Structure 1
Amino acid sequence: MSISTGYRVGNWGVQCCIDTTEQALEWPIVEFQGWTAFHGGQEETEIYLNGAKAGAVSFSARPDVEAAMGAGWVAVGWSTAFDIEQSARDNGQALVLEVRVRQQVIARKCFRYKGRFDVTPSPLKIVLHMPKTGGTSLRMALEEHRQSLFLLPLYNGDFTKINGLSSSSIDKVDVVFGHTSYGLHEHIARAVSYMTVLRNPYDFVSSLYFFAKYIQQDAEMLTASSITEALEKVRRPEFDNYYTRAIAGLAAELPVTDEHLEKAISNIDSHFSFVGLAERPRESLKRFSCIFGLPLSYMKENVTPDIVEREFVDPMQANQAIREHVRLDLKLYQYVVKKFWNMEIG
């Protein structure tokens, strides 16, 4: 994917194009090429790969670009070589090439390095999408890089889709993303790395109630006059320590116990590379960008709009009712918050 933004100040402007294609990334040393065109004065062009500035850049005239751009434009071709193997390995095989002028990114292109001698796939990244935690925004940020990132959606709650894939097909998948639970790794031979985002359990249950009732028009939820009544009458796995259930890998019909909380914490410590916080979207996204080696864009999607019923809810009464259903999730969330702030975010 290539992004050419251009940059203009008064009568001065610049445009750029990156010519290197994904097919060029076959060997560990790659020459990246492109051109930069200026209107109103030529300035220094800087090339960066995964945030590291190129040490040596060669420049040449590009009369073909000048002719295409028109009068007043001066174009230069540029090329620079990078040893990409280590940078790709450090960033999950992802490479981001940027062209900067006046410290502004004029063009950006993302690549996925799959070297000829790289026969062992990196661990499969599995993102457990907890409802109402900003997961849709994260998925859409990843989908912006679909040309260099192969995402497999898994939203049916079971592993039927995975069980139907061959090992060679699974090796080509970069990310599995969906409303699923811990345990997917037991169905494949490939190494995996789990990650997810959690939200304060009080806000999670409250948001889920309003979303299901007023946006999804859920029949059962519509019969409840309040969130307290919904918690008493509507049987949904999300209303019963959902985080603990999903991260412990417990089936929806089974009760959640203290032993499952211990299992969930153990799984986080042993098999999760990161657990983000919905209340800290920018810090969480920055960490996800590092994990995926991609410049992920911050966006807000699938947000429940303002609803009149919210104005008549007694927060203390609602939270008291919710607390009985998320006792274990509250402990898990507190553990994750401490782990989040003790983690290197950057």
Structure 2
Amino acid sequence: MEWPIVEFQGWTAFHGGQEETEIYLNGAKAGAVSFSARPDVEAAMGAGWVAVGWSTAFDIEQSARDNGQALVLEVRVRQQVIARKCFRYKGRFDVTPSPLKIVLHMPKTGGTSLRMALEEHRQSLFLLPLYNGDFTKINGLSSSSIDKVDVVFGHTSYGLHEHIARAVSYMTVLRNPYDFVSSLYFFAKYIQQDAEMLTASSITEALEKVRRPEFDNYYTRAIAGLAAELPVTDEHLEKAISNIDSHFSFVGLAERPRESLKRFSCIFGLPLSYMKENVTPDIVEREFVDPMQANQAIREHVRLDLKLYQYVVKKFWNMEIG
């Protein structure tokens, strides 16, 4: 282990009810732990079991230095250690001089493929995942450790630079908003088995009943740095465009994966491989969708995103790729 910031993740299961799970590193309790449901584990273990997934990040450099470069990770339930693993920290002494690259991973835009292409170079590239939707993980990290990170990658929004002292460069990939919302609906309903989405008989009904930020001009919201609970307005569209012009080094297109990847390869200075990952499979319900009716329903929810996407497409083709 050689990176100064490490994300640990796993799951715990309880019989008869969920118990409090705590994560410790060298005796220090993790301050920010993200929890998620694990219905797959519960189904495998049988009736009566409750399972939760957990993930947390530690700024391990100082802790390792204080403990002879040794790291002891513990998972505790009711203050009892139920799992323990030991590591040794080697340390990364070179500091990245360039601006921190922040990749906003928009769902269902090929972001997983890009992340995996970058992870192929993890021996020389330090990626810090940020998928909990807020900046809690960043706030707990030291400046010296942040300076050693090459890329922050995750489902997050514009504004991360306000929490660190280092210069940054944003980038992302967008997809036609109609296809984005449609793909998200099918993925959430049939792959993630989202409880709310499963109650909807169609994408039109889901848009009417299910409240989630992805169904309300998500691109504009994320790039403008707007909180999930606030309404998106035309002013936020102007803010998003301004942010792209001033703080984004590149915005790729999901419809042009090879051209986008070629540009990312130039930005990162790495030969990134093209791969397709986390693709929503063919769903029977798709065969019964009226495209015109579905797009009409979607249009009301992506009015601003359509304008932002059109702006990005023009910017993409005016940019030299290669």
* TM-score (norm: length of structure 2): 0.71
Question: Could you tell me how far apart the structure 2 residues matched to 1:232 and 1:43 are?
Answer: 36
**Structure 1 position 281, deviation (Å):** 0.1
Q: Quick check: 1:92–1:293 contact (8 Å CA) kept in 2?
A: no
Q: May I ask how many residue pairs the two structures share in their alignment?
A: 322
Q: Tell me if structure 2 keeps the 8 A contact 1:151–1:177.
A: yes
- Structure 1 position 44, deviation (Å): 64
SS at match of 2:93: coil
Q: Which residue of 2 aligns with 1:15?
A: none
1:92–1:122 contact (8 Å) kept in structure 2 = no
Q: Residues 42, 341 of structure 1: CA spacing in aligned structure 2 closer, same or farther, 3 A cutoff?
A: farther
- Measure how far apart 1:119 and its partner are: 6.7
1:239–1:62 distance in 2 versus 1, CA, 3 Å: closer
State which structure, 1 or 2, has the greater radius of gyration over its C-alpha atoms. 1
Contact 1:276–1:284, Cα closer than 8 Å, also in 2: yes
Q: Residues 91 and 290 of structure 1 are in contact (CA less than 8 Å); yes or no, is this contact kept in structure 2?
A: no
Structure 1 residues 117-161: Cα deviation after superposition (integer angstroms, max 9, x where no partner): 987721000000000000000000000000000000000000011
Correspondence 1:42 to 2:31: no
Match of 1:105 in 2: 81
Deviates more, 1:37-46 or 1:124-133: 37-46
Contact map agreement 1:130 1:196 (CA 8 A) in 2: yes
Runs of 4+ in structure 1 over 3 Å off: 25-120
Distance 2:283 2:189 in 1: 10
* Cα distance in 2 for residues equivalent to 1:225 and 1:70: 29
* CA distances 1:193-248 after superposition (whole Å, capped 9, x unpaired): 00000000000000000000000000000000000000000000000000000000
CA displacement 1:33-54 (0-9 Å, x = unmatched): 9999999999999999999999
**Is this contact kept in 1: 2:2–2:92, CA < 8 A?**
yes
Tell me how far 1:90 sits from its aligned partner.
37
Is 1:115 aligned with 2:115? no
- Relative to structure 1, is the Cα distance of residues 76 and 119 closer, same or farther in structure 2, using a 3 angstrom cutoff? same
The TM-score normalised by the length of structure 1 is 0.67
Distance in 2 between the 1:115 and 1:176 partners?
19
176 and 72 in structure 1: CA distance in 2 versus 1, 3 angstrom threshold: closer
Change (3 A) 1:287 1:66: same
Distance in structure 2 (CA, Å) of the matches to 1:251 and 1:98 = 34
Query: Matches of 1:127 and 1:255 in 2, distance apart?
Result: 24
Structure 1 residues 96 and 335 mapped into 2: Cα distance closer, same or farther (>3 Å)? Answer: farther
Aligned-pair identity in percent equals 100
Q: Which residue, 196, 208, 212 being the options, matches 1:232? A: 208
Contact 1:112–1:148 under 8 Å retained in 2: no
**Alpha carbons 2:59, 2:145 under 8 Å: kept:** no
Instruction: Out of 67-76 and 233-242, give the one that drifted further.
Output: 67-76
- Bigger shift: 83-92 or 259-268? 83-92
* Aligned residues of 1:96 and 1:294 also touching (Cα < 8 A): no
Change (3 A) 1:58 1:65: same
How far apart are 1:80 and its partner, in Å?
44
Equivalent residue number for residue 51 of structure 1? 27
Deviating more after overlay: 81-90 vs 100-109: 100-109
**Bigger mean CA deviation after superposition, 223-232 or 88-97:** 88-97
Q: Is the 8 A contact 2:6 2:58 kept in 1?
A: yes
| 1:84-137 CA distance string (max 9 Å, x none) | 999999999999999999999999999999999987721000000000000000
Helix, strand or coil at the partner of 1:127: strand
Give the secondary structure class of the aligned counterpart of 1:67: helix
CA contact (8 A) 1:136 1:301 kept: yes
Going from structure 1 to structure 2, the CA distance change for 1:189 and 1:210 (only over 3 Å counts) comes to same
The answer to whether the Cα contact below 8 Å between 1:94 and 1:294 also exists between their aligned partners in 2 is: no
Give the root-mean-square deviation of aligned CA atoms. Answer: 16.1
- What residue in structure 2 maps to residue 246 of structure 1? 222
Q: Specify whether residues 121 and 206 from structure 1 end up closer, same or farther in structure 2 by C-alpha distance, changes over 3 A only.
A: same
- In structure 2, the CA distance between the partners of 1:315 and 1:203, relative to structure 1 (3 Å rule), is same
CA distance in 2, matches of 1:188, 1:137: 27
Measured at CA, do residues 331 and 99 of structure 1 come closer, stay the same or move farther in structure 2, by a change above 3 Å?
Answer: same
